[in-house]
Amino acid sequence: MASTSFFPPRPSSTLAEIASLTKATLVDASYAEHRITGLASLDEAGPMHLSFFENLRYSDELANTRAGACLVSERFEGRVPSHVAVLRARRPFHAFVAYARHLYSDALRPHTGVGAPGIAPTAVIHETAKLEDEVTVEPLAVIGPDVEIGSGTVIGAGAVIAAGVKIGRDCDIGAGSHLQHALIGNNVLMHPGCHIGQDGFGFIFAGQHTKVPQTGRVIIQHDVELGAGTTIDRGSLRDTVIGEGTKIDNQVQIGHNVTIGRHCVIAAKCGLAGSLTLGDNVALGAMVGINNHVVIGDGAQVAAMSGVKDSIPAGERWGGIFARPTRTWFREMLAVRRLAEGSGAETAARPDDDRDEGRG
């Protein structure tokens, strides 16, 4: 099969141009006119590629790289092979990303590329919907009554925007997504298959489990990004709110009445039960589960695969099942390991005749 790239080649850049753009220092000026045609990891890079190094875990890859140039901090500069041009940067990965964003600005938004700009002939748009100029609605999308969509927004193929939903400007609503009972801010990116505003999981759990009406909304503020397959339930009485600038990974479930603060980061497959609160700048590792009604304070961090049943004070780092402060968690794990190792040594030290005592 022929090699296929979904992002066409970009114009080449000289190392002098890259140094200027990334605010890095080209250590050997004789490389100033060397041209870079692409980006690659250390182990896959060739003479025309730019790479970066800032983690000693990848020392072997750096030693054996064929890259044309490498962004690296002054601390590790001496580890770069002599045939590789050195771009000294205080934060190499940040500099690498700055250049990557310059090259691949079209990779920053979840466009499907299945339709031309404008309204596809097969899109279904209710006569009472209001679309500003320069809205794109891709094939087979459905826009319901009284929907409002701001300019520059793209509604992906097969998406359904239910009655009364409001979507701001410069948003991308991924293919196959479904939005109802929701108010969406500006520059919100939803990857394919998101489901927003469906019933929260509310029942009186007795006998036949009586369903509780869910009459709230979902409010997603500006600059939020939602990964593929993420689901956000609408509130029962109060709204479910996702704060400005928050970034949510794939397949995250957010229950009804949840409030998430600004600029939080939530990794894949987290499950947030109803009526909990995350403060600003909270970070959750992958597969964290959080019980209902707890409060996670501003700036708190929770390690991946943790189960949280208690509120976490601002700025603290917790982990484990059930989650507790990481220092306590680590001490407990170490104590259990020592206990297990001690028990094993004690068992191995017993004489055979003690273990066989009483046998015929």
Assigned token pair, 213: 């009406």
In terms of Cα–Cα distance, which of 287, 332, 328 is closest to 308?
287
Cα–Cα distance, 189 to 170 (Å, whole number): 9
175/107 Cα distance (integer angstroms):
16
113: left (phi over 0), alpha (psi -120 to 50) or beta: left
- Hey, what are 280's tokens? 């600003």
What token pair was written down for 308?
A: 């949280």
The full 3-state SS of 176-198, as one line of letters, equals CCEECCEEECCCCEECCCCEEEE
Contacts of 320 (CB under 8 A, 6+ apart): 303, 306, 307, 329, 332, 333
Indicate the residue type of 204: I
CB 159 within 8 A of CB 173: yes
Rounded CA gap, 220 and 164, in Å?
15
Q: Which amino acid is at 158?
A: G
Q: Do 274 and 292 form a contact (C-beta atoms < 8 A)?
A: yes
Q: Which residues participate in catalysis according to the annotation?
A: 256
Residue 131, strand partner residues: 149
**Residue 45: exposed, middle, or buried by beta-carbon count in 10 A (0-12, 13-18, 19+)?**
buried
Rounded Cα–Cα distance for residues 193 and 177 (Å): 4
Nearest Cα neighbor of 246 from 257, 256, 258, 260 is: 260
Distance in angstroms between the alpha carbons of the first and the last residue of the chain: 70
Task: Map tokens 């209710």 to a residue.
Answer: 126
Instruction: Estimate to the nearest angstrom the gap between the alpha carbon of 90 and the chain centroid.
Output: 25
